[in-house]
Structure 1
Amino acid sequence: MRQDQYERLQALTEKLTDVFLDEANPDTWPGRGVALAQMDQQTRGDLYWSKKNAAATLTVIMKTTSLIGVIQQRSAAGAGDGVQPESDEPDGLDGEIRAAEKEATRLLNKLGTAAGKEAFDKRVHGK
């Protein structure tokens, strides 16, 4: 990958993150402040679509971030197809961001696991 492609990929990830933050803001979702039982079918569908769209944007962010990580690992290992990223602080802010993203992914997975267990327990045990 060329250096200009790598830089464009990083810029795209930043743009997508801004989009995700806007899409994931519950204050902008349809039916804000209305109980689900009180919503009409259209509003519930729009709310579901808004959440699903934010999740899809997050998936693209995760894929581009993963690709950037692979490129950085290959560059560090000396592979010819990687790009050596230009950075004044290799472990500074970029390292903190990567650590925060990893922690966020871990917490989201943990939350999903807990919610899945709770749903299972409710179905099986009626709890």
Structure 2
Amino acid sequence: MRDDQITRLQALSERLGEVVITEVDPHNWPAAEKLPADLTQEERGNRYWCKKNAAATMTLLLKVVNIAGIMNRQKPAPDAGHAVDELDGELAAAEREAQAIIERMQKAGNVS
């Protein structure tokens, strides 16, 4: 996928997240103020439909987030080369410092 498509998927996942939050809120379901025993058949059906719809939206959100995450992991970070060079430099400096310590200890007679 192109970078712009991944960015659009990420934006879409944020909007879907807001929809999920609204749809899973029981206060937004039909006859929210009623006890289950007091629901009419139509209210029960509508409420059940709202739950199924919320679950379907949640599934859609998870799939979009998963795809966007996979695509982000597959592309190299923009500064990945710089980070590797920086780590190589730090490693080389640490090796030089360790070698200098070993040489000083050998001169002092502490290491054979």
Q: Secondary structure at the match of 1:34?
A: coil
Shift of 1:48: 0.4
* TM-score, normalised by the number of residues in structure 2: 0.65
Decide whether aligned partners of structure 1 residues 15 and 85 sit closer, same or farther in structure 2, where only a CA change above 3 A counts: farther
Runs of 4+ more than 3 Å apart: none
The structure whose residues are more often helix, as a share, is 2
Shift of 1:73: 2.0
Q: Distance in 1 between matches of 2:73 and 2:78?
A: 10
Shift of 1:85: 7.6
Which ranges in structure 1 are unaligned for 5 or more consecutive residues? 77-83, 87-127
2:6–2:72 CA contact under 8 A, matched in 1: no
Identify the residue that residue 16 of structure 2 maps to in structure 1. 16
Which ranges in structure 2 are unaligned for 5 or more consecutive residues? 80-112
Larger radius of gyration: 2
Q: Match for 2:8: what amino acid?
A: R
Identity of aligned residues (%): 42
Decide whether aligned partners of structure 1 residues 64 and 85 sit closer, same or farther in structure 2, where only a CA change above 3 A counts: farther
Tell me the alpha carbon deviations over residues 66-102 of structure 1, each in whole angstroms, 9 at most, x when there is no partner.
Answer: 10111122124xxxxxxx589xxxxxxxxxxxxxxxx
Number of positions where the alignment pairs a residue of Structure 1 with one of Structure 2: 79
Decide whether aligned partners of structure 1 residues 37 and 85 sit closer, same or farther in structure 2, where only a CA change above 3 A counts: farther
RMSD after superposition: 1.8
